[in-house]
């Protein structure tokens, strides 16, 4: 994927973080059971951190393109969609079955961090 597309994806994710955070803080305040509100907030928090991490990798990639950086970005993007997305839908609909998808997204996020480690170690060599 082109860097321009990755930057766009990170920007959209950042905008969605702000919208989801505001929606959760204002529109959902007092509307969800505490467990579902906590799940929604966890989705926002993980999306925010991984969006910021994507921006850092994109900045690194602009200065020092390395093989594997695109894999990191792809894993984190898929992780955001599956992890945060499933938590959002689960919190808003109460569908507990989506809870089976959430760990897959988490594993993709972890995979992205491990791929980043490999990429960085390969960079040192």
Q: Tell me, what's the pLDDT at 94?
A: 86
Alpha carbon distance 69, 101 (integer Å): 25
Cα–Cα distances in Å, from 116 out to 49, 51, 99, 110? 15, 14, 27, 10
State yes or no: pLDDT of 122 exceeds 70. yes
pLDDT digits (tens, 9 = 90+) for 76-90: 999 999 999 999 999
Average pLDDT over every residue of 5-27: 96
Which residues have CB under 8 Å from 71's CB, separation 6+?
112, 115, 119
Q: By C-alpha distance, which of 40, 119, 25 is closest to 72? A: 119
pLDDT digits (tens, 9 = 90+) for 28-40: 888 999 999 999 9
Whether pTM > 0.85 for this model: the answer is yes
pLDDT digits (tens, 9 = 90+) for 38-79: 999 999 999 999 999 999 999 999 999 999 999 999 999 999
């Amino acid at each position: 994927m082109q860097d321009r597309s990755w930057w766009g994806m990170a920007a959209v994710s950042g905008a969605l973080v702000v919208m989801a955070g505001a929606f959760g803080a204002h529109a959902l305040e007092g509307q969800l059971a505490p467990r579902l509100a906590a799940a929604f907030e966890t989705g926002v928090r993980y999306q925010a951190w991984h969006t910021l991490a994507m921006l850092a990798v994109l900045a690194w990639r602009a200065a020092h393109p390395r093989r594997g950086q695109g894999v990191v970005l792809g894993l984190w993007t898929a992780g955001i969609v599956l992890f945060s997305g499933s938590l959002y839908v689960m919190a808003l609909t109460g569908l507990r079955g989506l809870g089976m998808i959430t760990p897959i997204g988490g594993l993709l996020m972890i995979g992205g961090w491990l791929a980043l480690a490999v990429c960085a170690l390969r960079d040192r060599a």
